[in-house]
Amino acid sequence: MRVIKAIVLIIIFNFSFLFSQSTQRPKNIILLIGDGMGANYVSAAVLHFPNNPFRRFTSIGFSITCAADNLLTDSAAGATAISTGYRTNYYYVGVDTLGNPLTNIFEEAERLNKSTGLVVTCTVTHATPAAFVSHVISRKEETAIAKQFLEKDIDVVIGGGAKYFHETEASSSIINGFDILKNKGYDIYRNANELLASQPNNKFYALLEDEQLPRAKDRNYSLADLTKKVLPVLSQSDNGFVMMVEGSQIDWGGHENNQDYLMTELNDFCGAIDAALNFAEENGNTLVIITADHETGGMSINDGKPDGSNITLKFTTTGHSAEMVGVFAKGPGEELFRGVFDNYMIGRNLFQLLNPDLQF
């Protein structure tokens, strides 16, 4: 019996060794999150947008999005599962179910001397981006989240939420967050025109609005434009980078049951996906992953023409649903994201690609 057990252990060990040896590790990781973008949203994009980027992916999976304490998750718990490899409670950001901080993929990347950056269309202190930076027990603690941004060394940050950085309380005194960033060597961009007219080659913060960015239809720039501003800066690192891009307001269109809002934001997000894939194809050694934190609206496609025009969307809720979300991957390590799996496995696989020696 002991001999049999020993043989089994050797087989398991050798399988793990071969698996880790055969899995190619990327130098760069670009993670794009369509907030609220269930598989049904992807169907709408594939049907309605002729040149949608989802057909460009070679590995596809499905993620089960539950929170630790609820079948229906929110962006805080959903993004924490992706960023840390652990499920947590509803509203919790970057902490476990007991409130203890969890290491996220940005922190691990920085430990490995990789560059990090994020681009969002909400406030940078909102639930999804916060899960890659901060550790709080409520997503509503945006002032505390902003303070934790100031304590980190993320190379590029683009989004809204400037009001949380005008003044932040630290050591019983009021300190201007932008002064802190300048003292740490960051360039600061305070509006989109200033950013788009520049060619950044240094780490920077671009907090373009006090609140969230305007809707895609009301902007004269796209999420792809912002994404392209980040990539040259992060690419300066010889050790590679980890980047997160969020189509934040796809979710808000779902909450409003607003087809035009949803589809416009989804199209804007598709442009950012194309930008990421084009970078990966031109530069190589880059894994591009698309997923969502949850589905919003319980949406279905109820009518339309065979060419995808005139589609009609219907909704069953103004909240979230437990629908699975798609996971699309292309590049070194993409095979880890095939099949049906829990959302925290996205995070665990990302950690393994960064550092195969990590154990969960």
Q: For the segment 112-158, what is each residue's pLDDT rounded down to a tens digit?
A: 999 999 999 999 999 999 999 999 999 999 999 999 999 999 999 99
CB-based contacts of 292, cutoff 8 Å, min separation 6? 33, 34, 35, 36, 37, 38, 41, 63, 65, 78, 325, 326
Task: Give the model's pLDDT for residue 23.
Answer: 85
What's the full length of the chain, in residues?
360
Q: What is the pLDDT of residue 175?
A: 61
Q: And the tokens for 205?
A: 């913060």
Low-confidence ranges of the chain (pLDDT < 70): 1-21, 167-175
Write the Ramachandran bin of 172: left for phi over 0, alpha for psi from -120 to 50, otherwise beta: left
- pTM listed for this prediction: 0.93
Pairing of strands 59-64, 325-330: antiparallel
Give the pLDDT confidence score for residue 11 in this predicted structure.
40
The predicted pLDDT at position 167 comes to: 66
323, two tokens:
């629908």
Q: How far apart are CA 27 and CA 120, in angstroms?
A: 23
When the candidates are 2.102.10.10, 3.50.30.30, 3.20.20.70, 3.40.720.10, the CATH number that belongs to 30-354 is: 3.40.720.10
CA 356 vs CA 20, 46, 136, 255: distances in Å: 7, 35, 28, 39
Question: Which residues on neighbouring strands pair with residue 160, listed in sequence order?
Answer: 123
DSSP state of 152: S
